[in-house]
């Protein structure tokens, strides 16, 4: 069993409209935009990062907004629901807030004895809020949402699978242990993790294969402390027969990627160097930051990319 993985690092989704996505995540959910950059492989498209005030691993939601992308089709082989932790007793506040902001798909439910509020993202992406006790992660305080109800960071993510055997074995290798089962959903936990410690495996044998598009999660990333930890994980994955990419420098973390047995794209990302690598912590996410290979495109991109909130 690997000991280096600390929990979820970030989750990356695909969207249709950068401006609407930015308004929803910062305005409705109250997260901080901590980086405004571009897709390394398609620099005419933003890569937008949202998190708590310091961009801590385990709080980071990111988006690729492709203007002409088709809608995703939900199914097996993807992250079905991204779940945030909120303080105990705060769901009434969020229910009212979602009503005021015309959020769709809002429904209250109970899973694993926890009260949760399901809701849709702008493109129909699956989200939920879960009430938790004693979450020490500091919320972003710049969105006009009181700290006693504000989002703390990720609680968990649910993977939709036709069969959970391969993913269960992989997560066990990655340091997760099964802790509970509820209605055929297996919960696995990284004990002593970064707060974003839980992965739920939802088995749906007859589910169609998911088709990626707007509203789809592109990949889920797991956190490790640094480069040596990442290399150790990479070696262990390769020894188990996984086809793992070389380490890729993403400016704010270093990454490797591989496909999990159920079809979900996994990433392992380092906690360093962090989102203040190229701008002051007080001004995260304000200026357009470009990876060095696309720096020569700045004038062109500043004209072509849509303006998003300040």
Q: What is the pLDDT of residue 226?
A: 98
What percent of the chain shows pLDDT beyond 70? 100
Q: What is the pLDDT of residue 309?
A: 76
On whether the CB atoms of residues 15 and 123 are closer than 8 A, the answer is yes
pLDDT at 148 over 70: yes
- Residue 6 pLDDT grade (very low, low, confident, very high; cuts 50, 70, 90): very high
pLDDT tens for each residue of 217-262:
999 999 999 999 999 999 999 999 999 999 999 999 999 999 999 9
- Residue 110 pLDDT grade (very low, low, confident, very high; cuts 50, 70, 90): very high
pLDDT mean across residues, the chain: 97
On whether the CB atoms of residues 239 and 195 are closer than 8 A, the answer is no
Average pLDDT score over residue span 158-181 = 98
CA atoms of 246 and 89, how far apart (whole Å): 45
Order of all β-strands in the sheet with 265-270:
32-38, 46-51, 60-65, 8-15, 217-224, 265-270, 254-259, 248-249
For residue 211, the tally of other CB atoms under 10 A from its CB is 14
Q: Strands 254-259 and 265-270, how do they pair?
A: antiparallel
Q: What is the pLDDT of residue 310?
A: 60
Average pLDDT score over residue span 54-80 = 97
CA atoms of 27 and 22, how far apart (whole Å): 8
Write b or e for each residue in 274-289: b if 16 or more Cβ atoms lie within 10 A of its Cβ, otherwise e.
bbbebbeeeebbeeeb
CA atoms of 52 and 151, how far apart (whole Å): 8
What percent of the chain shows pLDDT beyond 90? 99
- Residue 163 pLDDT grade (very low, low, confident, very high; cuts 50, 70, 90): very high
Give residue 77's region: left, alpha or beta (phi > 0; psi -120 to 50). left
Asked if residue 273 has a cis previous peptide bond (ω within 30° of 0), the answer is yes
pLDDT tens for each residue of 252-300:
999 999 999 999 999 999 999 999 999 999 999 999 999 999 999 999 9
Q: What is the pLDDT of residue 179?
A: 98
pLDDT at 181 over 70: yes
CA atoms of 151 and 95, how far apart (whole Å): 14
Q: What is the pLDDT of residue 243?
A: 98
Helix (DSSP H) and strand (DSSP E) numbers for the chain: 5, 16
Contacts of residue 179, defined as CB under 8 A and 6 or more positions apart, other chains included, come to: 187, 188, 189
pLDDT tens for each residue of 187-212:
999 999 999 999 999 999 999 999 99
pLDDT tens for each residue of 17-50:
999 999 999 999 999 999 999 999 999 999 999 9
């Amino acid at each position: 069993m690997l000991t280096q993985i600390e929990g979820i690092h970030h989750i990356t989704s695909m969207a249709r409209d950068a401006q609407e996505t930015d308004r929803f995540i910062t305005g409705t959910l109250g997260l901080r935009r901590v980086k405004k950059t571009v897709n390394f492989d398609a620099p005419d498209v933003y890569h937008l990062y949202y998190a708590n005030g310091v961009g801590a691993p385990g709080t980071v939601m990111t988006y690729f907004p492709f203007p002409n992308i088709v809608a995703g089709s939900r199914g097996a082989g993807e992250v079905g629901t991204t779940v945030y932790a909120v303080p105990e007793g705060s769901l009434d506040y969020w229910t009212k807030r979602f009503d005021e902001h015309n959020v769709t798909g809002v429904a209250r439910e109970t899973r694993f004895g926890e009260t949760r509020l399901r809701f849709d993202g702008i493109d129909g992406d699956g989200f939920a809020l879960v009430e938790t006790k004693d979450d020490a992660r500091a919320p972003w305080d710049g969105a006009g949402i009181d700290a006693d109800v504000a989002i703390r960071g990720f609680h968990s993510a649910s993977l939709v699978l036709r069969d959970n055997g391969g993913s269960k074995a992989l997560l066990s290798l990655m340091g997760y242990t099964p802790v509970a089962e509820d209605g055929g959903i297996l919960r696995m936990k990284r004990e002593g993790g970064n707060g974003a410690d839980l992965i739920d495996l939802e088995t749906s044998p007859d589910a169609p294969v998911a088709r990626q598009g707007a509203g789809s999660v592109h990949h889920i990333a797991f956190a490790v402390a640094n480069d040596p930890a990442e290399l150790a994980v990479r070696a262990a994955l390769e020894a188990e027969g996984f086809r793992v990419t070389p380490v890729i420098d993403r400016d704010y973390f270093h990454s490797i990627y591989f496909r999990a047995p159920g079809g979900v794209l996994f990433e392992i990302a380092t906690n360093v160097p962090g989102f203040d690598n190229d701008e002051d912590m007080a001004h995260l996410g304000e200026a357009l930051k470009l990876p060095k290979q696309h720096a020569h495109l700045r004038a062109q991109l500043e004209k072509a990319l849509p303006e998003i909130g300040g």
